[in-house]
Structures are given as C-alpha cells and as structure tokens.
Amino acid sequence: MREKWFFIDSDATLQSQASLFLEKWNNNSPFQIKSSGTTGEPQLHTFDKNQLIQSAQASIAALGIDSQIRALLCLPLSSVGGLMLMARSLVGDFELLIQLPKSRPLQYQQEKIDFIAMVPTQLQQSLKFDINQLRNCSKILVGGGQLSPEIIAACQAENLQVWQSYGMTETLSHVALRKVSPTEDRNFKGLPGIQFSSQNGCLVISYPALQEQQIITKDIVNIEQTNCFQWLGRADNAINSGGFKIIPELLENKLQKYFKESFYITALPDPKWGEIVVIVFEGTKLPVLPDFEQIGLKKEEIPKKYVLIPVFDRTETQKIKRKETIQFILNEDWRSL
C-alpha cells in the first residue's frame, strides 16, 4: 500500500487532517469518528486499522475498483465518508485527488474522474451546473441522504453510472449499495460478507468482519433476501395518526416532484388523532400546493399544517437535522392548510 494523494486545494487544515490520518494509519493508532447527529446526539465511535481495511476491501470488491483509477475526495475528511475514501485509496492503491468540501465539487475539474463519492446536494448541483464534468465521472457513489425521483431521473437521462449507498458511522461507511442509474434497482444489496435480518420491522446488520455483535438499526425495511433489503424510512420518524402508521420518508417521496423547495414531513400532537401530519418548508413563502387528494394521498397522509423556516439546520454532509430545525418553533408559527 502506498500513498498517491494530490491536493487540489492548498488549504493548511485540509492537508493537516490528511497528514493526521496517515500518521494514525502508519502507527496503527485507533481512529475516532463522530456520527453526524442527524438522528440524535452525535456519538464518538472508535475503530482500529484492521476494521478500516476490512471495510475498504468489501467496498472495493462491490464497486469493482482497481489500482488504475483516479478518485476525487470532496467530502469532509472528518466524516466517515471522507475517512473511508482515504482508507480505500491506500488499500486499493489508487490515485486520490483531495479538495475542500463544496456544493459544486466538479466546477473546476477538467480531468476524467473514475470514481467520486458525493452527497445528494453535490450531485444535484453538479447535474444543474457542471453536467459536462459529471459525464466524465465513470462511477458515482451517493450517500448521506435520500435521492429524489427528479435527481434519479436526471441521472438516467444522462446515462450516468450512479449507486446510492446505505451505511452509518457505526458500520464504517456503506454496507449496502443500490444502483439507481442508468436503471434503478428497488433493493439495496449487501457488500460481501454482510447479512441482513429484521427485528420489529427494523434492519439488523450482521457484519462479523467488522464486529462480533449485530447492529440493530431504526431503519424500517422489507427484507427480500438475507443479503438485500428495501429501505422504507426511519422508525423514530414514524407518525401514528388515528391508528394509521405513516412513514414520513415515503410520503416525502410522493410529494417530492410537486415542490422545488426543500421540505420534510413531521408530526404535531393532536387531542383527537394523537398526531397529525405537518409539513416544514425551507424558505419564507408558502409554495403552490397540489390538490393532495387528486394526487392520491390518503386522508390521514394529507398535511394539516405547515411552517416556514428560512434556512434548515443541516449536518456538514447536508443532511437535514429535523428535530433541531423546528425546536424553537412556537405553536402560533404553525399555519393551517
């Protein structure tokens, strides 16, 4: 394993973070990674070098990466995604271009990129502003959030090779991949050596090469086979309205094409129904609403109130912090629909 790293941005902090990673790698020191905090308080997780190597090998095998590729690292080096791309480059002995995280990572990139890992916001901006550079990327991996049907359709229209990843800090980045372009698979398929089951409808990950104990998640899934699953949403986001269980992520997927604005679905307490569905928009003006019944929403799925938030609270990988975004919203800020 040898280092083939090149810095696009001459940023002292960026180079210092990369040097610290190499120092730990060469000294077999433990790696500490903080979770994003999207679903609760950020947690600090510790891994050793062998665990990073195991994860990197599984990812390299699943994506078909070899030592001849050039990859672009445009994620925070402190995130599990950035850290594991550095590890993969060392294990796979491939060239790695490193730059500061930005919404348009390909804006000034003219060289052909064989592999790039991005978050959905970066892919969206690249599709909009840097499509020629995006076409030069042979393999595109997207993680850190769900992809809208519009983004997937745009990727398919350009015949891009795009995979969506499923993973978390606890699993050292992705444990499963789903091809979304040029054709879309419904299911996530596990990386080599990883098996899935469910407990109370939530995903359970068996990853013996990484850790002995199973990882019990709060992701609601349909298990198709022991090595693949369909992701539905988060159990801790689920809404119970009058006895009807509503998964916000599935409802958001139904509504995505009707709004250009960022939004998400959540719940408010209600004396009659227990909880009601509400919608949170990013911006200062209520967008034009579709006829919810006409587009096929069930009565209990139709949002009853809305609130406007000028700017959503997001993690450094651009995931919306749902609870933090509305924690200071007062009752009178919610408006009826």
Give the integer Cα–Cα distance in Å for 124 and 120.
6
One-letter-per-residue 3-state SS of 109-143: CCCCEEEEEECHHHHHHHHHHCHHHHHCEEEEEEC
The model's pLDDT over 243-292, given as tens digits with 9 standing for 90+, comes to 999 999 999 999 999 998 999 999 999 998 999 999 999 999 999 999 99
260 belongs to a structural domain: yes
pLDDT above 60: residue 221: yes
Is position 198 within any domain?
Answer: no
For range 137-158, the mean pLDDT: 93
Output phi, psi for 302, to 5 deg: -70, 125
Residue pLDDT, tens place only, 97-122: 999 999 999 999 988 999 999 999 99
Asked whether residue 51 carries a pLDDT value surpassing 70, the answer given is yes
The mean-pLDDT minimum among 22-26, 28-32, 43-47 falls in 43-47
Which residue would you say has higher pLDDT here, 289 or 332? 289
Task: Establish if 200 belongs to a structural domain.
Answer: no
pLDDT beyond 80 at 39: no
Regarding whether 247 and 176 lie in a shared domain, the answer is: no
Using CA atoms, how far apart are residues 178 and 164, in angstroms rounded to an integer?
Answer: 5
Instruction: Find the angle CA(217)-CA(220)-CA(224) to the nearest 5 degrees.
Output: 105
- Cross-strand partners of 240: 245
Query: If pLDDT is split at 50, 70 and 90, which confidence band does 3 have?
Result: confident
Same domain, 172 and 246: no
Whether residues 16 and 107 share a domain: the answer is: yes
Backbone angles phi, psi at 76, to 5 degrees: -60, 135
Q: Give the domain range for residue 118.
A: 5-193
Give backbone dihedrals phi and psi of 107, rounded to 5 degrees, phi first. Answer: -55, -45
Q: How far is CA 165 from the centre of its chain?
A: 7
Specify the number of domains making up the chain.
2
Least confident of 29-43, 136-150, 203-217, 263-277: 29-43
Residues 13 and 97 in one domain: yes
Model pTM above 0.85: yes
Residue 286 lies in a domain: yes
Q: Are 33 and 75 in contact (CB under 8 A)?
A: no
